[in-house]
Amino acid sequence: MCGIVGYIGRRNAVPLVVEGLKRLEYRGYDSFGVATADGRINIIKKQGRISESCVDPLLLKGCMGIGHTRWATHGVPNDVNAHPHTSCNGDIAIVHNGIIENYSEIKRSLTAEGHTFLSDTDSEVVAHLIEKYYNGDILQAVFSAVLHLKGSYALLVICSSEKRVIAARKSSPLVIGEGDAEMFASSDMTPVLEYTRKIIFLEDGDVADIRDSKVTIYNNKEPVERKSELVEWDFESAKKGGFDHFMQKEIFEQPDVFFNSFNIEIPEKAVADLKKASQITVVACGTSYHAGMMFRYMMEKYCKIPVRVEIASEYMNFNPCKNSVMFAVTQSGETADTLAALRSAKNENCITFAITNVLGSSVTRSADHVLYTRAGPEISVAATKSFTAQLAVLLKIVSCLCNDDIEVEISGMHPVIEEALLYDAEPAALICRDAASLFFIGRGIFYPVSLEGALKMKEITYIHAEGYAAGELKHGPFSLLCEETPVIALCIKDDSYPVMMSNIKEVKARGAPVIGIGSAGDIDLEEICDFYIPLPKSSEISEIINASVILQMLAYKTAVLLGRDIDKPRNLAKSVTVI
């Protein structure tokens, strides 16, 4: 779960690689490094964030370079464990994203052959393995080395005496950008889009020989053709555009994102496969899992089709989905747990759907059908607009299968989401800021909304927050309630309203302050809560979306008050490519 960038062309590689790494910091940000080759390998690598450091382009020269921003898996974040790693003679440098599962075995045998290792990482073995096979041609050496690697890798390799960057991919993303007499390689396309929109998505097993004006791609050592795709995402959308944080910007993009995502076309063959489904299984992690849970409520309510929703990493422990339909919901399309669950469903003859935001991501290579959310690049580690986009696509599926009324309901929602965005969450955030712990409660579809609200809050504020089914709080967690544990209650005027009101009273009777989020004009709710947040008046679906949006803003404002590192919360990375 790291980011890698490579460049070869006519310009100084260093500023390009450094800027590219800054855009990939969402993938990891505990240390970084850059290497160039100009007859010899030059390296700078350090613990810390590249966005907060200064890499002097004059210290490293060369029109060919590679770089890395790290999320530690093997070895603590420090200068030595930072990438690039080099061969014993210092002539070969590599950067790696992924995990080399058999690195201990390789390290033992290379050590016995006389290689000396400096770091605690799994990745360093790759540099030494390539050195072992190097005989004047770095491409051939990489071909030989990758045969020994088990696990996952996106690799970039340079050699002091050759003018080429070698890239190799297995189960970790890697794209190549084709510029004008210059080439880029990167974990995703965001660092490349400023220079070119012609992107090649490497496939598993591909090894690419990248020269300044040409790339040759091999699989099993045989040349293969990989056509470049013209990517629509623009570079501007990956910038903050006047907002203080990417998260804030992404929250504000949601009205458009919702509509663009709802308006996708679902291909006829996909609709036909969906119509055959007597049961649907959804696998996902984190925020995407919550979107999956919400889909279950909608599907069962409108279409009466049973939906099973599993946390992807737990999916293996239950009976597999057999001969039916599986949805893998994943913003990045690279989440290892979700990919593993999807692959196992394929082995059980399931028809698989990927719902993802990233063109060409790994999940799109594995699934039978791909439905793209139209959120655009999401940079903040905390998922916001991608969640709304997933809900929109999932709603589109419900609408397509069994309820055209949704389309009508949705048509008037744009201004209603905009109205929710005007809400000033600061007074409520002031209550949350001083909390020892927070509970988010709801019933029905507002239960997963509350789970998502709690996830957002804990992720970016570091305040312990738990989402609970409102009826479940009395079965244990009541013992935790006190003045320091505010409860955020989602209490909308639907069928569960009367019991929800009772739950709020029970909470109040135990001394916990309540922030009630409910339908506009609900005087009863306003009266019993310590703080009341009215949702703009509209339809049921808009209340679901707006409650989610307001919880995102509440988490955001609380994190601002606490001075947290909002877009890059500690210990996290956006794309979780390890199991």
The amino acid occupying position 12 is N
SS3 76: coil
- Whole-number minimum distance, CB 285 to ligand M6R, in Å? 4
CA dihedral 121, 20, 255, 389 (to 10 degrees): -40
Map 277-324 to HEC letters. Answer: CCCEEEEECHHHHHHHHHHHHHHHHHHCCCEEEEEHHHHHHCCCCCCC
- Whole-number minimum distance, CB 383 to ligand M6R, in Å? 4
Candidate list 338, 352, 496, 577; residue touching ligand M6R; CB under 6 A: 338
Candidate list 335, 362, 485, 577; residue touching ligand M6R; CB under 6 A: 335
Based on the shown chain and the rule CB under 6 A, indicate whether residue 36 belongs to the binding site for ligand M6R. no
- Whole-number minimum distance, CB 245 to ligand M6R, in Å? 14
Part in contact with ligand M6R (CB under 6 A); list of ranges 262-270, 286-294, 463-471, 537-545: 286-294
- Whole-number minimum distance, CB 197 to ligand M6R, in Å? 23
- Whole-number minimum distance, CB 87 to ligand M6R, in Å? 34
CA atoms within 13 A of residue 391's CA, in its CB half-sphere: 31
Candidate list 124, 209, 459, 466; residue touching ligand M6R; CB under 6 A: 459
How many Å apart are CA 514 and CA 508, to the nearest integer?
7
Part in contact with ligand M6R (CB under 6 A); list of ranges 61-69, 84-92, 380-388, 396-404: 380-388
- Whole-number minimum distance, CB 158 to ligand M6R, in Å? 30
Question: CB 145: neighbour CB atoms within 10 A?
Answer: 25
| Cα→Cα distances 282→300, 312, 326, 384, 578, Å | 13, 9, 6, 20, 20
Candidate list 69, 81, 261, 332; residue touching ligand M6R; CB under 6 A: 332
Residue with smaller CB distance to ligand M6R, 532 or 556: 556
Part in contact with ligand M6R (CB under 6 A); list of ranges 110-118, 153-161, 332-340, 536-544: 332-340
Tokens 């050590």 map to which residue?
A: 111
Residue with smaller CB distance to ligand M6R, 127 or 576: 576
Residue with smaller CB distance to ligand M6R, 285 or 501: 285
Candidate list 152, 160, 237, 288; residue touching ligand M6R; CB under 6 A: 288
Give, to the nearest 10 degrees, the angle between helix 103-112 and helix 124-133.
Answer: 50
- The pairs formed by 238-243 with CB atoms below 8 angstroms and a separation of 24 or more are 238/23, 238/190, 238/193, 238/377, 238/379
The residue whose Cβ lies closest to ligand M6R is 286
Residue 552 tokens read as: 């995102």
Based on the shown chain and the rule CB under 6 A, indicate whether residue 463 belongs to the binding site for ligand M6R. no
Residue in 249, 396, 456, 574 annotated catalytic: 574
Residue with smaller CB distance to ligand M6R, 67 or 286: 286
| Cα→Cα distances 457→383, 421, 429, 440, Å | 12, 17, 10, 10
- Whole-number minimum distance, CB 315 to ligand M6R, in Å? 13
How many Å apart are CA 97 and CA 443, to the nearest integer?
41
Residue with smaller CB distance to ligand M6R, 444 or 453: 453
Give the per-residue contact string, 381-400, with ligand M6R (x = CB under 6 A; - = no): xxx-----------------
**Residue 2 appears among annotated catalytic residues:** yes
Contact set for ligand M6R, span 291-330 (CB under 6 A): 330
Residue 549 tokens read as: 């949006």
Binding-site residue total for ligand M6R (CB under 6 A)? 15
Could you give phi then psi for residue 40, rounded to 5 degrees? -145, 165
Give the total residue count for the chain: 579
Part in contact with ligand M6R (CB under 6 A); list of ranges 134-142, 318-326, 378-386, 422-430: 378-386
- Whole-number minimum distance, CB 578 to ligand M6R, in Å? 11
Based on the shown chain and the rule CB under 6 A, indicate whether residue 331 belongs to the binding site for ligand M6R. yes
Based on the shown chain and the rule CB under 6 A, indicate whether residue 172 belongs to the binding site for ligand M6R. no
Candidate list 138, 406, 491, 576; residue touching ligand M6R; CB under 6 A: 576
Residue in 2, 63, 400, 432 annotated catalytic: 2
Residue with smaller CB distance to ligand M6R, 129 or 566: 566
How many Å apart are CA 129 and CA 363, to the nearest integer?
30
SS3 359: coil
Sign of the CA dihedral running 510, 514, 520, 523:
positive
Q: Is 319 exposed, middle or buried (0-12, 13-18, 19+ CB in 10 A)?
A: exposed
Q: How far is CA 191 from the centre of its chain?
A: 16
How many Å apart are CA 386 and CA 425, to the nearest integer?
21
- Whole-number minimum distance, CB 93 to ligand M6R, in Å? 30
Active-site amino acid positions: 2, 574
Would you tell me which residues interact with ligand M6R (CB under 6 A)? 285-288, 330-332, 335, 338, 381-383, 455, 459, 576
